[in-house]
Amino acid sequence: MLKMANEGKKENKLQDNKLKEDKVIPKKDEIVAKSKKVDIVINEKKVDIVKKEKKIETIKKVLITEFGKRFFVRNVEQDFHTNFGVVSKKDLKSDASIIKTGNGTKLFAHKPAFIDLYSRIKRAPQIIPRKDIGIIIAETGIGRNSIVVEAGTGSGALCFMLANIVKKVFTYEIREDFFNIASENLKFLGLKNVVMNNKSIYDRIDEKKKDDKGKNDFPKDVDLVALDLPEPWLAVENANALLKSGGFLVSYSPTTPQVSDFVEKVKKIESLRYIKTVEVIMRDWEIDERKVRPMSASIGHSGFISFVRKV
């Protein structure tokens, strides 16, 4: 009995050793990540592992109560539950502009417009508010034929709003975590005219030399360079090289020292002309019959916007 037990222990030990030999855990520096594909090197033998892309489910329908509360429906193949009652999938699939929940609450329904989708993008860093984006568009006059370079993508708020009205946007973000969030937001919005770059705008942009194959996949003859950077003055020379004559350089900064250093750098470049720096203060008003007064809360200072033009 004792001999059989000892032989059993030896056999188990041999099996354990074999399992340890078969299961090799790679060291941290042996794992090399690439986009969509991960190359893992184990004992000098490369194994390809394809990463599954995250499915982005967009908004299919917007529901609004009489009081202005909005609901965003992503799946019209099932009933949608709200605190005002349940909306049937039959009503969600219909083209009716007014539908009712199970308990009779009236809801206004419509397909999502760009601004509805835009309001639901994921955020990481503080985004440029729409009041400031509006004046950038108005002062530079960009439109459907414009080429834009934007640096400091962040969550993509400025990039995507510009992409909605211009021909093409090339955007640059040095932080990989922000770049990944912006990439996910881009898929969610469904924009096809944005070229995203996980690199610094402070470095020279030389795609023109190596990637020009008739695809127009690099920035050239740029109408607007928009900067949302901690040190925008470091990008001025690169921006000047990208801009066409008459193009605009715009810098968005939250503090006055950033504005000062940016403007002083611009003044040292002969082909750039500083125009002005502004900030936009927005205040909503409450209107209830003859009761008209400003809302208690308002959007005050968010950032300074400096405008420069290439001559």
Same domain for 269 and 126? yes
Domain identity same for 149 and 219: yes
Q: Is there a single domain that holds both residue 168 and residue 210?
A: yes
Do both 75 and 194 map to the same domain?
no
Judgement on whether residues 161 and 189 belong to the same structural domain of the protein:
yes
Q: Report angle CA 69, 129, 303 to the nearest 5 degrees.
A: 150
Q: Is residue 20 part of a domain?
A: no
21 belongs to a structural domain: no
**Which residues form the domain of 88?**
32-113
Residues of the chain with pLDDT under 50: 1-5, 9-10, 14, 18-51, 209-210, 212, 214, 216
Give the pLDDT confidence score for residue 297 in this predicted structure: 74
Exposure letters 252-268 (e unless 16+ CB within 10 A, then b): bbeeeebbebbbebbee
Q: What is the CATH number of the domain that holds 48?
A: 3.10.330.20
207 part of a folded domain: yes
Residue 130: which H helix or E strand, with range?
Answer: helix 130-140
Q: Do 269 and 298 have their domain in common?
A: yes
How confident is the model at residue 24, as a pLDDT? 44
Residue 72 sits in the same domain as residue 180: no
Answer with the one of 49, 84, 113 that is the final residue of a domain.
113
The string of pLDDT tens digits covering residues 48-83 is 434 455 667 788 889 999 888 899 998 888 899 998
Q: Report d(CA 56, CA 162) in Å as an integer.
A: 22
pLDDT at 54: 63
Task: Evaluate whether residue 186 is within a structural domain.
Answer: yes
DSSP bridge pairs for 309: 248, 273
Are 47 and 181 in a shared domain? Answer: no
Does 276 lie in the same domain as 187?
yes
pLDDT at residue 40 in the model: 36
Identity of residue 293: R
Question: 95-129 pLDDT, tens per residue?
Answer: 889 988 888 889 999 999 999 999 999 988 788 99
108 & 247 share domain = no
